[in-house]
Chain A
């Protein structure tokens, strides 16, 4: 089989790696125009970005909203409303670590257990658990007056370990890397409250994986479903169902399915407006 270049996979990995590298450089003081971590970042000492879940927790715990929180979280909420949970697929450092690890897993499985490598990613933990956990995080922040997820979030632990060498923090992220080999993306898809928040915000996002209705359905090969790291059944649930875009909330727009598709059925872009007859369908 001729190997096609994995453009989108390479692109989202490079973007996430670049973001993390910039954060590390900023923490050492090598670059001055960026500061902070994934929880809160500042560009040119002026434009703030604040993790919307961190802002929500701090607002609930401290019963106070600062202008920086409002603007910083507002910018990311706005981006999520337009682009969906792209943070998960393109920026999250833990997502990058899991994605690289998933790539390694696929590479190893192809050589040792080729048949298992052709099985889609499956996690027995229901997707709804992360929505439940999002509620738990918000409720606990308000009642305990502590932003508890910011304390234990494996994303923060990983970033704090890399940026601030804050000891012991790598245990949980490493455990998730091991878990990736058993249940791919159990964290991202089913547990991460931040992912749940971004998914909720991105429900109506116009930026999606689009499906070419002409190409779809010709000799379905299922590579998109097999490769999707989030375990979305792209072919069964969306392409063959006659949909014009992959509207699964778990979709991070990482583009892995675009790389997998041999026929160019899938593309990333602004979704087509639903046709009137689509609306009329039950």
Chain B
């Protein structure tokens, strides 16, 4: 099928970017969205032009490195999939597709569709862990954890850190990402001990990084490839209020 592309091209962090037009004639339905971009890049190389830079790695939806805005929606039109799991059968012959990077002040564009998400790392560095050094661990079964708790912790821990939540949020809030980690760890007995300090430090870092506030529109949950629940945000708020404010 024939696809018209409008893709964001930007040379450097500082440079001004713009949308550029491309046309692909030989797209097939079974192609993944990223294979389609590969095909475009093959053509650009043949024409001696610089390729469209985009982030990707595992291409099976788990590494969290891919992610672009496709027709104004994070990871494209399907709910709960990453960009790499989107296939061209979701589009029609003759469609025009807008491709832009995830945008937020805390996600600066490096080049084209590649962005810098190191702010996520810094928020984890601020406290997104249990302070258990290697060699300190007691026998695993000495900490019984109910089936329900373990499953709930898993639901929060499943976050892949792609940043779609920020990209789709009207306030560019990182609340879903931060709260998923806070909830994962606070649910487990091992993680409760540092809970107050963790939530305080991670939220402080979230502010420091310049993310916006959460206004509970719940768009993040809809776009999240792992369907991380917005109730994680409520849990984070509770932990924050309990720990210091209230």
A and B co-occur in one complex: no
Interfacial residues, chain B to chain A (CB-CB below 8 A): none
| Interfacial residues, chain A to chain B (CB-CB below 8 A) | none
